Structure formats: C-alpha cells, structure tokens
Amino acid sequence: MQNIRNIAIIAHVDHGKTTLVDKIIHASQIFRENQQFQDLILDSNDLERERGITILSKNVSVRYKDAKINIIDTPGHADFGGEVERVLKMADGVILLVDAFEGPMPQTRFVLSKALALGLIPIVVVNKVDKENCRPDEVQESVFDLMFNLDATEDQLNFFTLYGSAKDNWMGPDWKNPTDSIFPLLDAILEYIPAPKIEEGSLQMQITSLDYSNFVGRIAIGRVKRGKIVENQQIALCKSDGTIKKMRVKELQVFEGLGRVKVAEVPAGDICAVMGVEDFEIGDTISDPDTPEALPRISIDEPTMNMLFTINNSPFFGKEGKFVTSRHLRDRLYKETEKNLALRVEPTDSEDKFLVYGRGILHLSILIETMRREGYELQVGQPQVIFKEIDGVKCEPIELLVVDVPQETAGKVIELATQRKGELTVMEPKGDLQHLEFRIPARGLIGLRNNVLTATQGEAIMNHRFSAYEPFKGTIPGRINGSLISMENGPCTAYAIDKLQDRGVFFVDPGDDLYAGQVVGEHSRDNDIVVNIQKGKKLTNMRASGSDDNVRIIPAKKFSLEESMEYIQKDEYLEITPKSIRMRKIYLDENERARMAKKES
C-alpha cells in the first residue's frame, strides 16, 4: 500500500488557489529544468485564463518524501458549487486558503461548509501576507469563528495554520519570519491530513468526475473506497435507478504529475481513471460483480435560475455559426448535463426550445460562451428565478450579498440594494473600505452589479451566495428605461445616430448591419420606440455654411455576455453567434408586438 494523501484546495475566488498549486508543482520538480510552461498551469481552459477564475476542478499529483499527494484544485465561485460538491468526495482533507486582507468571504463559507459536513480535516493557509494593510492574526481568528459557526467538530477546530505568500513561493508558521520555500506546507499535509481510511470488503468506487478521449470515449474518474480495481477485471456498475450492469475494465490510469500513467491495478485510497465503462453517470458506483453494493449518491444543491434556450431564427440566422439546428442544440445541452451536475435541461412544448436550469447568471453564461466558441448559434430569453411552494407559501431564493465599497459611496449602494428588497444586516469598517452585507432576493441581483459599479465608479467588490428559500418578497422594479428598436434592415449610418442621440444611448456603431426589430439602444424614457437608424443624408450640390458640421457621436455602449443577459426584458431575446451578441425583440414585426402586448394585458 502506497503512502497516499488526498487533498482538495478550497477558497474564495481570487485568493490564490491555482497559484499555490503552481508552486507545489514546481517545488516537487515535475518539470525538466529546460521545459517551458505558463503560469496558472491548471487553468488550461481558454475561458479560465481570460477571466482569471477556475471553472472546472482538476486533479494533479506530486511526490514528496515517500508519499504521493493527490491535489484537487476547485472553483471558488458558488455558481460552480456542483463541481466542488462532487470532487470533495475524493478528498480526506482540505487546504482552506484565505486572503490575509479580505479574510473569509461568502464563498469561502459555502465550500467550507460542504467540506466540514463531509468530515474532512482542514489546514488553514493565510495567503498574501505581503499585501499592505493585511491582518493575518485577525483573519486566523475569523476563520476559527466561521468554523465554529458551521458546527465543526473538535478535531476540525483544532486546525493547523500556516502563513505565507504563494506568489513569493514561501509558507511558514509565523508570518513575520518568512521562510524560503513552500515545503512547510507539504510537511504539514503529511503530518495533519490523514491517510485514506481503508475499509475491509470487496471493490467499491464512486464515479465523481469524467473525462473524454477521442480514442476510448468516456473515462470514469473517482477514488477507490475499498478493495482494489484490476485491469481486465469484470465489474458491476450500480446506476441511479437501481439497475446493475456488468462490464469489463479495459485500462486503468493513475494521476502522476500533470498527466496520467497506465497501471495494472489501483489499491483502495488512490484516485484513478477507468476506461471501458460505458453508459455511466456521475454518482454511479463501480463494485464487485458478485456482491454489488452502491455508495450513497452525491447530493447537489438545487438550481435557482432558469433560462429559455432556443434556435436562432433572426434574419441573420446561419451566417456566422456552424451548428444552428434544434438537433444540434438539444444534443449539446444534454451532453453538458452529463458532466455539469448542477445543470438541468427540460424540453418544452416546442421542439426547438429548452428550459435550462443552473446555479446563477455566471454558471449559465459560461455554458453559453463555451457553446458560441464551439460554433453554435442560439438565442436565450431573460433569466428567471425558480419559485417553490413550501407549506402552501410561495417562496423564492434569497442570496447573501457582500459589498466592500469606499466610505463615500456606501450610501448609494445601500439605496440600490434596498430598492430591490435587500435587507442590510451588517455594516462595519474593513480597512479603508465599508463592509456591507445584505439578504436580497435572487431576482434583485439581476442587473444590480452594473448599477452598483456605475454608482461607485467601479470601486465596489461584490460577492453573493445562495442562502435559503424564503417567502416571496413582492414585486421588484426592473429596468426603468425602454428600448430603441431598429425600423428597417441594413447598415446604420452616423448621420442617423447623430440626429437621434437625444433619444437615448446607442449600442451600435455606424456601419453595423442591423435588422428590423433589433434592439439598438436604450430609450431615455420608459417606453419602447422604433427609430429609423438607417436614414442617410440627402445629397445635393447646395451647401449652407454652418449646417455641415462634422458628425459627433457618443461612443456606443458595449455589453459583456453576462451584462446583456441581465439587461434584456421579458419580451426580448439575446441572439448569440460565434462572432456577435445582439439584443432583439421576440416579435420582430412592430404590429405583431402591439398585438401580443394587447393579448397579454
């Protein structure tokens, strides 16, 4: 039996998890000296690199002294909580990473509560002690308070704390005396994280993750709980509906460094990849064919938001994307549910529309962004919060919103949050910032980030996580301004935009190709109006002095994908193609819009 440690690294987004894993990888000398590599080795996905966040959990392993340490890097966003919940099942302990200035944040609480509930032993690392204004000792105390509030056991509360800076490559027991390496952390892992508990009995392994290879198809990844798994062995797959399927293991691989190596057998306690298992889902159990026993399923928090996904039926359909039909859309969405546990897809009464349920705007936008990069064209409707009836009362999801904001703009943030039924629960100074905590309906968060960033000149730091379902809080005012809608098809002109600037703010630039019914701007009033943005200047050979000034246009307002999703109204779609994101009315024809509005009222 090898000397093994299985640890997950958990932290709030941007507290330095992936950087710390980088340093551990370098310290264990996995790379040859002349090998080239980038920073943030594990954030290998393009989207992760661009946004600077971890979206998918990853496995690596390092060798230190006579032990093998399997490390699982997890996402920090609560929107990707499904990823965290399933991979924590593979770990025996966690490294809780906390920023020495910010301290425990809402999503630290979220992932930590999951780890403590599974009985995992924590090591606390107070990172970024090189930051100015940092307060490592206070942060360590607040972590203790947080664990106490989360009902940690005596063993869990008796955690070991290290201080350091992953960026500067050091860790140590005292933040005032920096060491010169990251090895104290690896020593602490061997000392404080227990080796896997091995139960007596026949083979049991729960599938907690999956990979895909063009050569062997789907690969099941998980930790062997008891017994051992051997190449060419016959196994039983226990599925969610209670059925048991017999199959044979074709190949086994264990994690070594950043890759995987083929092995003949894997003992209990180690994490491995199994080829040859077909038709499995995450949460299924691989067990002995003679005495098949299923492990308890992985429980995942329910989705709190849904969106309508439909095929692109705009006049520009099929111009930019490869995959445009409802069959393409259906296959891609159902394929995503295989590995994205927190996502659910339901068909509607229409063949080309699907309801997709997720954890929040970010969770759904990452799926949409991934699809458009793969060449899909689609349209999505306004995000809707999922209501539930509990004991005969209509309830809605309530989120805990945390905002750190400069003192002088705190009043504006409180005003914006309370307008959306937010309830201020905590207000205290934190360094030179004001720390505000609200309980706010999830509906109230849609579109709030933009307004808060505008009101605070971009200086607010906002985080939120799901708290609980509570009775419905009443109507929340949505977007106050109406839309400017294009009247005709064709490119817009600078002349027309110039003449219409007093009507509102435009989202398009001169020369952009538009179609009738496309939303081209925000009206300065609360109603929608149709504008002729394609009108050109009448050319004559007469010139009047003074009337031919140069056209001066305010730059177009551009939205990111998440901002657009939060911006659209109930009667609008977001058209998403590999090259463009356009807002449009569901009914492009003005008369049809008026008819439908009458029908609804």
State yes or no: pLDDT of 446 exceeds 60.
yes
Q: Determine phi and psi for 485, rounding to 5 degrees.
A: -120, 135
pLDDT given for residue 54 in this prediction = 54
Question: Which residues lie closer than 8 Å to 353 by C-beta, 6 or more apart?
Answer: 308, 309, 310
Instruction: Tell me the two tokens of residue 261.
Output: 């190596």
Q: Give the residue, 360 or 29, on which the prediction is more confident.
A: 360
Per DSSP, the three-state class of 86 is: helix
Does the pLDDT of residue 328 top 70, yes or no? yes
> Coil, helix or strand for 51?
helix
Q: Where are the alpha helices (DSSP H) in 81-160?
A: 81-87, 106-117, 136-149, 154-157
Classify residue 372 as left (phi > 0), alpha (psi -120 to 50) or beta: alpha
Residue 296 DSSP class: P
Task: Check pLDDT > 80 for residue 540.
Answer: no
Q: Say how far apart CA 348 and CA 380 lie, in whole Å.
A: 14
Structure confidence by residue, pLDDT tens digits, 579-590:
999 999 999 998
Q: Which residues are annotated as a binding site for GTP?
A: 14-19, 127-130
- What are the counts of helices (DSSP H) followed by strands (DSSP E) for the chain? 15, 35
d(CA 382, CA 380): 7
- Consecutive H or E run containing 142: helix 136-149
pLDDT value at 32 more than 80? no
Rounded to whole angstroms, how far apart are CA atoms 227 and 204? 7
What is the chain's Cα-based Rg? 27
Which amino acid is located at 456 in the chain?
T
User: Could you give the CA distance from residue 210 to residue 497 in angstroms, rounded to a whole number?
Assistant: 51
Q: What domains, with CATH codes, occur in the chain?
A: 4-192 (3.40.50.300), 204-287 (2.40.30.10), 388-471 (3.30.70.240), 483-600 (2.40.50.250)
Q: Which helix (H) or strand (E) segment is 144 a member of?
A: helix 136-149
Position 574 scores a pLDDT of 95
Phi-psi region of 249 (alpha: psi -120 to 50; beta: other; left: phi over 0): beta
Report the C-alpha gap between 227 and 270 in whole angstroms.
Answer: 11
pTM for this prediction:
0.78
Query: Per the annotation, where are the binding residues?
Result: 14-19, 127-130
Q: Of the ranges 33-37, 508-512, 539-543, which one carries the lowest mean pLDDT score?
A: 33-37
Provide the pLDDT for residue 402. 86
CA angle 160–166–172, rounded 5-degree value: 40
- Res 39: pLDDT: 43
Name the nearest CA neighbour of 301 among 132, 487, 86, 480.
86
pLDDT digits (tens, 9 = 90+) for 178-233: 888 888 888 998 999 888 888 888 889 998 887 777 788 888 888 898 888 999 99
pLDDT at 42 over 50: no
